[in-house]
Structure 1
Amino acid sequence: MAAVLSCLATATFAAKPPQVKVVRNDVGGVVQNYAPRIVDYIRAGTKVKITGDCKSACTMYLALDQNLCFDNPNVTLHFHAVSAIFPPTTKASDRMTKGMVLFYPPEIQNWFWQQVGLRNYYGAKPLTAAQIIRATGNRYSYCS
């Protein structure tokens, strides 16, 4: 037993490569469901590859910075304000939208407030991967 423990103590283990999640044509959903998942991905160093459209709360993956990549330049993210269903109040949706936008890098936050705003619940504004990469000074990349 001592020999086994000695071998384990001196053995070098290869680090596990980070897990890669593929997000494909995600229509979004409830911000409160996306936020903890994205925070967990950040803590674990999980890499996310976006292919196809990414709508609504899916745009919060922008918080992953260098651990986020796009399949191609035409991948499109669609942004809109949060619509509060329970309770159905403007105050609640404003608070949720402001929280969601904190997941974006500053350049996309500025674009959001200028182009989308708090009242745009259903008229999503698109940005392609190419536009996002250019706007953020290459913070993101295309997947290799």
Structure 2
Amino acid sequence: MKRTAGIARTVSIALAALATTAVTAGAVSEAPSFYTVRNDHGGVIVDYAIKAAQLEQTGQTVKFAGRCDSACTLYLGISEDQLCVTPSARFGFHLPFGSSSQGNRFATTYLLKKYPRWVIGWLRDNGGLNRNLKVMPYEYVSQHIRPCDTQVTDL
């Protein structure tokens, strides 16, 4: 349990540091208005949590233009008015895995708290999170996230 609390504390500290950095950076320069996600296979959840918080704070639009798997799906927790999808968008979900079973349980809980209700519903309807990659198609996602304007440029 101490390890899980330590992971939670680390995530909280990292997000607090990011918030301070984002406010300071915002005073110096403006971020691009679009961030394109394409063929992202995921990675360390903490890294994606920090990036998602940064994107939400800057108000950037996140354009999904290809695969977004694993930890990348945390971007779906960003405010819906900052998200758009192209017909090539697909989202892959599976149980987190990594350093310890306690860490994996914490990561799973974190993901499920960050996902919007429509993602949770889709996961439930498709058997929940497990070790197998479950792919959410554009046809479903586009019912919940607006299509990208043709004017949205790739950055």
TM-score higher than 0.5: yes
Q: Which runs of 5+ in 1 are unaligned?
A: 1-15
1:126 paired residue among 109, 122, 135: 135
Quickly say closer, same or farther: Cα 1:49–1:112, change in 2 above 3 A.
same
Deviation string, structure 1 residues 17-59 (Cα, Å, up to 9, x no partner): 9620111100011111000110111111011111111110111
1:108 paired residue among 119, 126, 144: 119
Other structure's SS at 2:66 match: strand
Quickly say closer, same or farther: Cα 1:106–1:27, change in 2 above 3 A.
same
Quickly say closer, same or farther: Cα 1:77–1:33, change in 2 above 3 A.
same
- Displacement, 1:116? 4.7
Q: Does 1:58 align with 2:72?
A: yes
Equivalent residue letter for 1:129: Y
Q: How does 1:1-144 map to 2 (within 5 A)?
A: 19-64=33-78, 65-72=80-87, 74-83=88-97, 85-86=98-99, 88-89=100-101, 91-118=102-129, 120-121=130-131, 123-134=132-143, 138=144, 140-144=145-149
Output the CA distance in 2 between the equivalents of 1:52 and 1:82.
21
Greater share of helix residues, 1 or 2? 2
Q: Would you say the 8 A contact 1:18–1:45 is kept in 2? A: no
The number of equivalent residue pairs is 119
Q: Which has the larger radius of gyration?
A: 1
Other structure's SS at 2:114 match: coil
Quickly say closer, same or farther: Cα 1:114–1:94, change in 2 above 3 A.
farther
Runs of 4+ in 1 over 4 A off after TM superposition: none
Output the CA distance in 2 between the equivalents of 1:111 and 1:52.
19
Output the CA distance in 1 between the equivalents of 2:67 and 2:84.
13
Give the TM-score normalised by the residue count of structure 1. 0.74
Equivalent residue letter for 2:49: A
Q: Which runs of 5+ in 2 are unaligned?
A: 1-29, 150-155
